[in-house]
Amino acid sequence: MKKSKIAILILIAAAMLCSCESSTYDTNNNEETSASVSEIILETSGDETTLTKSDTIVNTDSDDVNNIIPSELDVYINAKALMTSGKARFYIETNLPDETVLMLSLRRGNYNTDDHFTAQTKVTISNGKALSDAFSNKGKSLSGEYDLTISMSIPTLQSDAVREIIGQNGEYMIGSIVEDSNIGNNKVVSALFTFSADDGTITSTTEYNNTIFRDDDTDNHTESIITTMDYNKADLEKEKVEKKVKEYIDENYTYTELDSITLNENLGTDDDEDYIAMVYLTWNQKNSGNTSKKMLDLYSSDMAARMYDDMPEIQELAVFWTVPYLNNGSAKISFERSNSGMKYTDTNFDSNFD
C-alpha cells in the first residue's frame, strides 16, 4: 500500500510538471522556446512523501539584455581627514565606479608670492573608497586651513571599465560637482573642500577661501576659482610622468616596482608648468646593503638623466626607495636641473644599508 501511494504521488508530480511548462514563439528568431514557470519538488520525510511547489526565475533569450540604456550617475564625493603627527591622509567615499582615478590637490597662499603651498597625489577608487598618501609641508606638520580639491580628469584618461559607466565622454554623469571640460566634448568632476589641519575638519564649499591664484591681466590679484583646464593640466602632466617612469622601469630597472608619484609645482621658477617630481619605488632584489646602495644610486641617476632629456618641465627629482630584504630599508636620492644635466642635491640611506 505504501509503495502504491508513492507511485501515485510520482505520477501526479509528472503530470503537474508537464502542465506547468509553457511554450512561447519568438517572432524575431522564428524559434519556439519554453520557459519553466514553476518546479515541483518531491520530498521524502520518514514514511511520508509530499509534493511542494516553488517559484523559479523565467530565463529568456532576448536581445533586450544587450540594449540596456546606461542610467545617469549623480556623482558625489565625500572626504575625511586622518591626522598623524601633523600629516594628513584623506579618506574618500564616492559613487564613481571602481578604477576611477582621482587627483587630490591641497593648496594655500598667494601664487603671486612665495607664500604659497601646493601638493598633489592620486588615488584609485576600490569598492567606492580610497585612502590617499600623507600630505606634509616638506616633511613638517601642516597647520592652519587649506583648500582641498578632489577632481577627475577627462574620461579618456580613465579605464574602459570606468567609461562604460560614466560614458566615453562622461555624458552619463550629472550633479553639482560635474563640469564641462575645456578639452573636447568632455565632462569632468571637481569637488572643493576647506580643510583645517589644526582639528582635521573638512567642509564642503564652492569657493577657494585660502588660495589666491595668478591673474596676469590685472594688477589687483583677487581670489578666483581655478579652471577645469588647470586641473586637467596637472592630471595630464602627472600621467605623462607616470608613463615615462614606468617605461624606464620596464626597460632598465630590474626588480623595481613603482609605488606612487607626487608632482608639485616648483615655486622656485617663474614658469607655472615647472614641477618637482617625487617618485616612490620598491626594490625587491636580495643584495647586501653596500651592493643595494650602488644599484639604487645607479638607477636613480639614470632616471634623473633620462628626465633631463625627456621632461624639461621637471626641475627637481627626489627618488624614494624601500628595500624589503633590508628590513624595509629606506633611501632618498635627490637631483636638481642645471645647464649641464641633473646634479645631486641629497643622498641618504638609513642604517639598514650599513
Q: What average pLDDT is seen over the chain?
A: 78
Amino acid letter, 217: D
Read off the pLDDT of residues 74-83 as tens digits, 9 standing for 90 and up.
999 999 999 9
Domain ranges in the chain are 2-61, 73-226, 235-353
Residue % of the chain over a pLDDT of 90? 47
Residue 27 has pLDDT above 50, yes or no: no
- pLDDT the model gives residue 335: 95
- pLDDT the model gives residue 22: 40
Taking the C-alpha atoms of residue 7 and residue 10, their distance in angstroms, rounded to an integer, is 5
- pLDDT the model gives residue 74: 95
- Report yes or no: 152 and 173 within 8 Å, Cβ to Cβ: no
Read off the pLDDT of residues 142-187 as tens digits, 9 standing for 90 and up.
999 999 999 998 888 889 999 999 999 999 999 999 999 877 788 9
Taking the C-alpha atoms of residue 142 and residue 135, their distance in angstroms, rounded to an integer, is 8
Taking the C-alpha atoms of residue 31 and residue 232, their distance in angstroms, rounded to an integer, is 53
End-to-end CA distance of the chain: 90
- pLDDT the model gives residue 259: 85
Flag the least confident range among 5-19, 60-74, 306-320, 336-350: 5-19
Task: Name the more confident of 195 and 138.
Answer: 195
- pLDDT the model gives residue 47: 43
- pLDDT the model gives residue 23: 39
- pLDDT the model gives residue 13: 52
Per DSSP bridges, beta strands 275-283 and 178-180 are unpaired
- pLDDT the model gives residue 225: 36
- pLDDT the model gives residue 35: 37
- Report yes or no: 258 and 245 within 8 Å, Cβ to Cβ: yes
Read off the pLDDT of residues 13-25 as tens digits, 9 standing for 90 and up.
555 544 444 433 3
Read off the pLDDT of residues 303-315 as tens digits, 9 standing for 90 and up.
999 999 998 889 9
Counting every residue written for the chain, the total comes to 354
Fold of the CATH domain 235-353: Diaminopimelate Epimerase; Chain A, domain 1 (3.10.310)
Read off the pLDDT of residues 223-240 as tens digits, 9 standing for 90 and up.
333 333 444 455 667 777
Residue 26 has pLDDT above 50, yes or no: no
Residue 298 has pLDDT above 90, yes or no: yes
Read off the pLDDT of residues 181-214 as tens digits, 9 standing for 90 and up.
877 788 999 999 999 999 999 999 988 888 887 6
Q: What are the helix (H) ranges across the chain?
A: 2-19, 160-166, 228-252, 289-310
- pLDDT the model gives residue 203: 95
- pLDDT the model gives residue 19: 46
Read off the pLDDT of residues 53-69 as tens digits, 9 standing for 90 and up.
333 333 444 445 445 55
Cβ neighbors of 14 (< 8 A, separation 6 or more) are none
Percent of residues in the chain assigned helix, strand, coil, to nearest 5:
25, 40, 35
- CA dihedral defined by 243, 249, 251, 252, rounded to 10 degrees? 140
Read off the pLDDT of residues 237-292 as tens digits, 9 standing for 90 and up.
777 788 888 889 889 999 999 888 887 776 555 555 678 888 999 999 999 999 99
- Report yes or no: 74 and 129 within 8 Å, Cβ to Cβ: no
Residue 42 has pLDDT above 50, yes or no: no
